Structure 1
């Protein structure tokens, strides 16, 4: 029998490796930007076309490469970062595996132009699907310029499953945010289809956070700082009242590298225990400095997972550090000494100075045995509201209308009998009679804990979740509007201005057409600012800014590509954003209208996300409970 084991060609092996390292255009951007940082660049420019599908161009002013290094850099496991296995335990660079460029070149059309400092000419290298097409001298500036064209052109399945441009751009923005936050001393610019998304100068940590996430986040940042023998922590955390319901502003960095760490995320949440609004996540930007020998970053090709040698100790340090920062913010008030009425702190006397004894002021005219009742008067300070001659005229008019009539009951029995008749004459919202005089079903409702609506049915009691019911009603309304007629808009007298960071601005920009069909009128002021000039008329009672912010929070983490799915998910998100909250007190008329609207829906039993709205508690269950 012949041998069946054979070595794969390098081009195939590189494509397999690319499946691990290069998952989408954002992976290419991440690897190229990290290489630029390792090359000593302080200015990095990223230019994109069609969210990276057509072009990803990364230009830096780093030290560049020689002709031989430029060619060798595209070989698998070729790296300048490590020379022996022991170097893996002292890594301080961003990249070290030597897989990124080989993987990129295996699935794209790559052109590199690079030049070292002091060289007269640089090098131009052209590689397509791991095959070197040309290498020649080139007149280019110092540094490196990578152009990645037609990503996944030779892997149709991978290209087919790329998401919409707005989704892929969101992932690229997320990667740029991580690198830019970890390196605030470097300047970054991100351009997409000739539109500037980021233009970040060299700055400090706080300014970098504000420039990325908007001016509104500045007021919520609380500084964090601690230094121990195990770990050094610095950065900022968000105040509890600014916490949001979705992730997006939570960042851990270790030795200048972004990392994901669910265990330490729990340490942060535990520090916020009992002070966060329900179902919200605080913002945090925490920078860790540790001995490289105590962590392992070589556990995943994307290098975003880091293993700590002493995780438990670091967990407690993180928890205590954040608790301390929150304590300082909440407990230590600021003292403004220039305020009127501030406490006068005397200057310490010089030695030998006689300090006068404190004097006690008394009223010598005060007589505790005086029989005449007088209003208490401060003998040292007369109250400006006190009048010596109070107005006692017309005092008897206070009792007008209380004259005794024949209608007032004389006895206790008459009082209680009148109350009983009055209660019996009121329309019964407390009772649960199902039949009216005509034999028709009479909807009697009871709102429990301002969360559930209970109504009697023949088999027992019907329990309705009021928020989920409202979501279902709104969802079917919005779907009907999107499919048939444009929604009616209610114009805002003073349109609120929304300042968004780049990722949220891209998400909102991508759904503006669909929002317009629903009745929203949102005008783009600049790249990251919008005016909400109108909202759907049925939602005009809600705060326009808060409504759009809730809608964004829901939409941005659930991107879809198919047009019909966009409508469905947008209707779901808007229904959740505008549905009544738990704890809302509803009038009888409102409950009745919600009840009727719910059972007019196509699917009244389940919410748009598939959760139960209605349940029936049978009479048999009641009987079991009372046995």
Structure 2
């Protein structure tokens, strides 16, 4: 009987490994950028076309590779980072498993140009689907240039599962920002479809954060710094008043490697306890320096999840250092035991006794006297109280003079009474009084109907009303707008501004008017009629956050997402009091909608309780 277990061919094994290493174009960007950093580059250029589906190219000025290394780097488990198993617990580099380039070469067309500094000529390699098609000597600049073209060309199913260009490019920016923040001393550049997106010169950490996320970020930052035997902590957190609804700008770096840790995030939130509004998240950029032998970074294929030896101590140190920094920079209240010398008693007052104050009372003062007598001047003071003359008022008995005579005149008068023959209200008015609406717990609106009761969720009902209004305005390209006397200036980073530019037409159809969209801010000169000026920043922030999660391909789906996000942000919240007129308007507007029974998020907006159901409950 023949054996059924066989070794897989290399190209098949590489494609399987690519399923773990290369999930999307952003995975290629991450691997190539980390290789450039490990090569000792001081300038790294990233060039992307069609969100990485057509081209991902990374050019660095690092130490380059020899002819043998250039060919060997595409083999499986070939790496220059480790030599022995013990090296896994003393890592000072990014990549170490030696699978990335082999996996990328298995599913794309790869072109490599590299030259070492001491060599006059370099190497030019072309690989298609793990097969070397060309290798020749070439004149190339010092360093390495990796070009990855037509990603997933030989796996159509994987290519079809890629999202829209907007979503994929958002992931590329995320990976680019993580590497750029971890290495502020290296210059980074990013080009997408021929346009320069980022040009970050080598600088310090604070300047790198400001260059990525905008100039207004500098005023939000609070530095943190702590050094212990277990961990060294440095970086920045933001002031509580700049917290956002989304968890966007939150970065942990362990030994200059981006990581994700819900446990450490909880430590940050614990440090902000009592300082944040409900549902808000602070931004932070925290760098942890731990001994390499106390951290395991090989527990996840993407190496973003790590394991620390003493997480509890790390939690406590991180929490206390952030809390100390917030108090030190007068962001949070602290107990200050430093004494102000200006409050000390002067030396010349040391032997003096306290002098009791003298109180003078005018014993002759009579508020009911017609005229206040003048107080005689004393030897201590020549003060005389002013005299007040009180006008003489008639006695209170005079108010009732003439009453008996008038009463005697009224004794002979008889009053005619009318018999009430009908109701003050007609039947329609009585029916309207019966069918009034009521609000329960500032959450539900109850309205009687012929068959029983109608109970409406005010938040979901208002979401449905606003959603259909916004969707109609976007589709018909006609919406009312209120002009602002003083335009609003709102600051955003580059990726958020790109998203606003893409959605500008749809937003203007809802009633927004953008006077200017600059490289780091926008100017809003007009708003939809149902949007208050104070709600604009919150509304746009939540809209950007929702659209960053998933931007659909079709324009209708984009409009639908915008309408849903705006309806969710502007709908009346649970706990809001509504008067009777507002309740009636909401009920009438809800049942004027095309789909009044569900919210835009497919939740029921109302329920009905019939009289029969009530009778059954009372029959128990």
- 1:482 and 2:482 are equivalent in the alignment: no
Label 1:606 to 1:117 Cα distance change in 2 as closer, same or farther (>3 A): same
Q: Is the 8 A contact 2:167 2:550 kept in 1?
A: no
1:436 deviates by 4.7
Label 1:443 to 1:195 Cα distance change in 2 as closer, same or farther (>3 A): farther
Q: Is the 8 A contact 2:246 2:542 kept in 1?
A: no
- 1:359-398, CA deviations, whole angstroms, 9 ceiling, x for partnerless residues? 645555x445845379xxxxxxxxxxxx9769999999xx
1:575 deviates by 0.9
Aligned to 2:53: 53
Larger deviation, residues 212-221 vs 78-87 = 212-221
Aligned to 1:571: 563
Q: Is the 8 A contact 2:435 2:449 kept in 1?
A: no
Label 1:38 to 1:7 Cα distance change in 2 as closer, same or farther (>3 A): same
In 1, Cα distance between equivalents of 2:400 and 2:26 = 84
TM-score, length of structure 1 as denominator length = 0.83
In 2, Cα distance between equivalents of 1:347 and 1:441 = 74
Match of 2:351 among 329, 352, 357: 357
- 1:611 and 2:578 are equivalent in the alignment: no
Label 1:443 to 1:570 Cα distance change in 2 as closer, same or farther (>3 A): farther
Aligned to 1:330: 332
Larger deviation, residues 599-608 vs 58-67 = 599-608
1:505 deviates by 1.9
- 1:372 and 2:374 are equivalent in the alignment: no
User: Which runs of 5 or more residues in structure 1 are unaligned?
Assistant: 336-341, 375-386, 397-401, 407-426, 429-434
TM-score, length of structure 2 as denominator length = 0.83
Larger deviation, residues 301-310 vs 545-554 = 545-554
SS in 2 for 1:269: helix
Label 1:135 to 1:612 Cα distance change in 2 as closer, same or farther (>3 A): same
SS in 2 for 1:330: coil
Larger deviation, residues 462-471 vs 129-138 = 462-471
Aligned to 1:412: none
- 1:109-140, CA deviations, whole angstroms, 9 ceiling, x for partnerless residues? 11111111121111111111111121112222
Aligned to 2:179: 179
1:199 deviates by 1.3
- 1:244-298, CA deviations, whole angstroms, 9 ceiling, x for partnerless residues? 1112111111111000112222222233334321222221222111111111111
Aligned to 2:409: none
In 2, Cα distance between equivalents of 1:436 and 1:390 = 69
Match of 1:585 among 544, 552, 577: 577
- 1:503 and 2:505 are equivalent in the alignment: no
1:589 deviates by 2.1
1:315 deviates by 2.4
In 2, Cα distance between equivalents of 1:180 and 1:259 = 14
Aligned to 1:419: none
Q: Is the 8 A contact 1:182 1:256 kept in 2?
A: yes
Aligned to 1:168: 168
Aligned to 1:264: 264
What pairs with 1:404-415 in structure 2 (closer than 5 Å)? Answer: none
Aligned pair count reads 574
Match of 2:539 among 547, 550, 555: 547
Label 1:123 to 1:369 Cα distance change in 2 as closer, same or farther (>3 A): same
SS in 2 for 1:494: strand
Aligned to 1:67: 67
Aligned to 2:507: 515
1:579 deviates by 1.9
1:584 deviates by 3.4
SS in 2 for 1:265: helix
Label 1:615 to 1:221 Cα distance change in 2 as closer, same or farther (>3 A): farther
Larger deviation, residues 159-168 vs 460-469 = 460-469
Label 1:360 to 1:30 Cα distance change in 2 as closer, same or farther (>3 A): same
SS in 2 for 1:495: strand
SS in 2 for 1:57: strand
Label 1:207 to 1:437 Cα distance change in 2 as closer, same or farther (>3 A): same
Label 1:198 to 1:356 Cα distance change in 2 as closer, same or farther (>3 A): same
1:550 deviates by 2.9
SS in 2 for 1:62: coil
In 1, Cα distance between equivalents of 2:618 and 2:389 = 64
- 1:228 and 2:222 are equivalent in the alignment: no
Please report the RMSD computed on the Cα atoms of aligned residues, expressed in angstroms. 3.5
- 1:501-521, CA deviations, whole angstroms, 9 ceiling, x for partnerless residues? 122123222222332333333
In 2, Cα distance between equivalents of 1:282 and 1:550 = 15
- 1:594 and 2:586 are equivalent in the alignment: yes
- 1:161-181, CA deviations, whole angstroms, 9 ceiling, x for partnerless residues? 211111111111111111111
Q: Is the 8 A contact 2:597 2:605 kept in 1?
A: yes
Larger deviation, residues 25-34 vs 257-266 = 257-266
Aligned to 2:34: 34
Label 1:541 to 1:469 Cα distance change in 2 as closer, same or farther (>3 A): farther
Q: Is the 8 A contact 2:437 2:580 kept in 1?
A: yes
In 2, Cα distance between equivalents of 1:367 and 1:570 = 75
In 2, Cα distance between equivalents of 1:362 and 1:114 = 92
User: Which runs of 5 or more residues in structure 2 are unaligned?
Assistant: 368-383, 394-398, 404-423
Label 1:486 to 1:324 Cα distance change in 2 as closer, same or farther (>3 A): same
Label 1:363 to 1:317 Cα distance change in 2 as closer, same or farther (>3 A): closer
SS in 2 for 1:175: helix
Aligned to 1:452: 444
SS in 1 for 2:57: strand
Aligned to 2:312: 312
SS in 2 for 1:556: helix
Aligned to 1:283: 283
Label 1:371 to 1:260 Cα distance change in 2 as closer, same or farther (>3 A): same
Q: Is the 8 A contact 1:166 1:506 kept in 2?
A: no
Aligned to 2:252: 252
SS in 1 for 2:332: helix
Aligned to 1:558: 550
Task: Give the structure with higher Rg (CA).
Answer: 2
- 1:158 and 2:158 are equivalent in the alignment: yes
1:524 deviates by 5.1
